[in-house]
Amino acid sequence: MRNPLWSRRNRIAGVAAAVVLAGGAAAGPVAGQQDMSQVEIETVQLEGDLFMLMGRGGNIGLSVGDDGAFLIDDQFAPLTGKILAAVAEVTDQPVRWVLNTHWHGDHTGGNENLGGAGAMIVAHRNVYRRMNPAEFADVVGRSDQAARAALPVVTFADGVTFHWNGRHIDVTHVGEAHTDGDVIVHFPRANVFHMGDTFFRGRYPFIDVDSGGGVDGVIAAANLVLERSSGGTRIIPGHGDLAAPEHLRAYRDMLETVRMRVASLVANGRTEDQVVAAAPTSDLDGVWGDNPERFVRAVYKSLSGT
Ligand SMILES: [Zn+2]
């Protein structure tokens, strides 16, 4: 349902303090045990019936219309009630689809609640595998076994397109990036992308090498979106505020710079600890400086194959 009076930024839950977004590494049980009672869901309107929801954990995309609500990611289980309240502010239709951008718990934590309530959960097949270690022990990193209702019921290999609420919603798997199951979601008519955790606006990414991620895939994901962007493109990052192509371009350039520096250290035979000690990001940390060591280690591991 459209609401012409809907303000561009409307705080659903009143006047609580600013929300501090959880770090990308804070997936799963640790973050899930945080107190969610003070979290509020902020709704950012992108078009009449297309929204970004921000709370705790990965940013959510929301398409509403006569067909039903379509969610991209669902944060943590204790937030499902607040997320559904935010959805109900803009539509009287139920959540019919949940698309997961990857398996991390700060993006899939609401799956069990929403799947149990009848939503169809869709994700890349590696998301299903990583959430289901009982069946796929070969690919397991740090994931716990998900409840049956939390598992995707539809999976795909390369991509899928939804024709829903009068939109074509294009979903593309981007290979080994933040994990091995990341997708980028494109709303062509709205000129909006949701990049999941292949994009952390304004800070170093978390690259989950243990889940099949790698720096080259993160760079490729950024390039894919930049190639399809125009001046008016808006990009929902996995974490951080709504972004424009210029923010993604700066992020891509930073990634390429660090990749080049670490690659040259690797080529010179440096060990992982020696690469960290060489501080290859020292001139960048002032801008991007959220945990450079973790980032540098992930880049090293991606390039050295360790
Ligand atoms: Zn993630």
CATH number at residue 204: 3.60.15.10
Residue 178's pLDDT band, with cuts at 50, 70 and 90, is: very high
- Within-domain flag for 305: no
What residue type is assigned to position 165 of the chain?
N
- Contact present, 121 and 98 (Cβ < 8 Å): yes
Q: What is the 197 CA–ligand 1 centroid distance (Å)?
A: 5
Q: What is the 107 CA–ligand 1 centroid distance (Å)?
A: 7
Query: Any idea which of 15-29, 223-237, 242-256, 260-274 has the lowest mean pLDDT?
Result: 15-29
Q: How many domains does the chain have?
A: 1
Q: What is the 237 CA–ligand 1 centroid distance (Å)?
A: 11
What torsion, rounded to 10 degrees, do the Cα atoms 44, 248, 254, 107 define? 50
Nearest to 2 by CA among 168, 162, 166: 166
- Token code pair at residue 29: 């049980």
- Within-domain flag for 248: yes
pTM for the full predicted model:
0.88
- Within-domain flag for 60: yes
Task: Give residue-wise pLDDT tens across range 13-39.
Answer: 332 323 333 333 334 444 445 789 999
Quick one: pLDDT at residue 64?
Answer: 98
Domain boundaries, position 79: 9-256
Q: What is the crossing angle of helices 245-267 and 215-227, to 10°?
A: 150
- Within-domain flag for 295: no
- Within-domain flag for 292: no
Quick one: pLDDT at residue 140?
Answer: 60
Q: What is the 101 CA–ligand 1 centroid distance (Å)?
A: 8
Q: What is the 178 CA–ligand 1 centroid distance (Å)?
A: 7
**How high is the mean pLDDT of the chain?**
89
Q: What is the 263 CA–ligand 1 centroid distance (Å)?
A: 24
Query: What is the C-alpha to C-alpha distance for residues 279 and 29, in angstroms, rounded to an integer?
Result: 31
Task: Give residue-wise pLDDT tens across range 79-98.
Answer: 999 999 999 999 999 999 99
- Within-domain flag for 184: yes
Query: What is the C-alpha to C-alpha distance for residues 202 and 126, in angstroms, rounded to an integer?
Result: 28
What is the percentage of the chain residues whose pLDDT exceeds 90? 82
- Within-domain flag for 138: yes
- Within-domain flag for 306: no
